[in-house]
């Protein structure tokens, strides 16, 4: 992260068109790319949960943890993007195709996290959220290619485009690369910790349920003994 | 220098959001870890 700050705010030069505001893109672009990755991991983990024989809750927890991190990254993308928009376009928000589809992606995954918090057993939670996780991922190409599909105010992809032509200066591209690496490490670290926390939450919930069952059985046995 | 406020603000916003998420995850992890025996922590 220190390298990202050093390159993003220091070593990288100002852009010819965007001037100093280009520095915002070194955090804006990596956060949305990592959000895409996080939601793809959610979809893949959801598929692995649904379509493997064992139906391991580990896949479900990986899907949930990845979605949470993705939502945090999209929130950063939207907030930081609005600051960039204010400098570049003169407004914080515009109902443009890219911005609107990104906001829709954010709301969809907030909904996914809300569905995970509905009642029921762990397996019920895993099944319903896995289905949603696999459907919601189709929004990613919609967001990414929205600038091509509709007339958009947002600039087209500079690096991740289909023609493979990268329209960036070397040091600028390197600064962006540093951002992507930094956020990738952060994503992996957060995934490790969040999946463990979720596993502990599940264990404690199971233990609470087991304790309640034991208490209820003991109560029923006492009532039976009292009746005799 | 209006730009500087927006640029520094965007970096601050990014690190603050991610830092808050990481801090919450670590704090809840530590709280839960105290209630669970080490034998059940398969990652140890």
| Per-residue pLDDT reduced to its tens digit, B1-44 | 568 888 899 999 999 999 999 999 999 999 988 888 777 777 76
Nearest to B3 by CA among A2, A23, A79: A23
ipTM tops 0.95: no
Query: How many domains does chain A contain in total?
Result: 1
Residue labelled with tokens 């669970």 = B36
B17 to chain A, any CB pair closer than 8 A? The answer is yes
Q: Any idea what DSSP says for residue A19?
A: B
Q: Are B3 and A20 in contact (CB under 8 A)?
A: yes
Q: What is the pTM of this model?
A: 0.84
Q: Quick one: tokens of A138?
A: 């189709």
Distance of alpha carbon A89 from alpha carbon A17, whole angstroms: 12
What's the domain range around A135? 2-227
Q: Chain B residue with minimal CA distance to A26?
A: B11
Q: Are A46 and A129 in contact (CB under 8 A)?
A: yes
Distance of alpha carbon A112 from alpha carbon A185, whole angstroms: 24
- Assign A16 a pLDDT band (cuts: 50, 70, 90): confident
- Assign A165 a pLDDT band (cuts: 50, 70, 90): low
pLDDT value of residue B4? 85
- Assign A2 a pLDDT band (cuts: 50, 70, 90): confident
Higher pLDDT, B44 or A30: A30
Q: How far is B26 from chain A (nearest CA, A)?
A: 7
């Amino acid at each position: 992260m220190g390298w990202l700050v050093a390159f993003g705010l220091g070593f990288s030069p100002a852009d010819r068109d965007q001037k100093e505001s280009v520095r915002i893109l070194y955090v804006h672009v990596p956060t949305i790319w990592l959000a895409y990755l996080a939601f793809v991991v959610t979809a893949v983990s959801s598929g692995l949960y649904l379509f493997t024989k064992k139906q391991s809750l580990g896949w479900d927890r990986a899907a949930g943890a990845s979605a949470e991190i993705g939502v945090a990254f999209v929130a950063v993308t939207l907030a930081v993007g609005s600051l960039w928009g204010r400098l570049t376009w003169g407004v914080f928000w515009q109902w443009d195709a890219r911005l609107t589809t990104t906001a829709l992606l954010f709301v969809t995954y907030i909904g996914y996290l809300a569905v995970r918090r509905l009642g029921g057993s762990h397996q019920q939670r895993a099944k319903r959220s896995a289905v949603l996780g696999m459907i919601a991922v189709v929004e990613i190409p919609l967001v990414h290619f929205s600038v091509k599909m509709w007339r958009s105010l947002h600039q087209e992809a500079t690096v991740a485009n289909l023609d493979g032509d990268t329209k960036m200066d070397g040091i600028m591209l390197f600064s962006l690369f540093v951002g992507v690496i930094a956020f990738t490490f952060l994503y992996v670290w957060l995934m490790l910790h969040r999946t463990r926390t979720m596993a502990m939450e599940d264990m404690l919930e199971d233990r609470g349920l087991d304790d309640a069952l034991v208490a209820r059985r003991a109560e029923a046995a006492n009532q039976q003994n009292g009746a005799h | 220098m209006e730009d500087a406020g927006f640029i520094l603000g965007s970096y601050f916003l990014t690190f603050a959001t991610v830092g808050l998420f990481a801090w919450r995850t670590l704090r809840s992890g530590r709280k839960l870890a105290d209630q669970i025996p080490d034998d059940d922590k398969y990652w140890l």
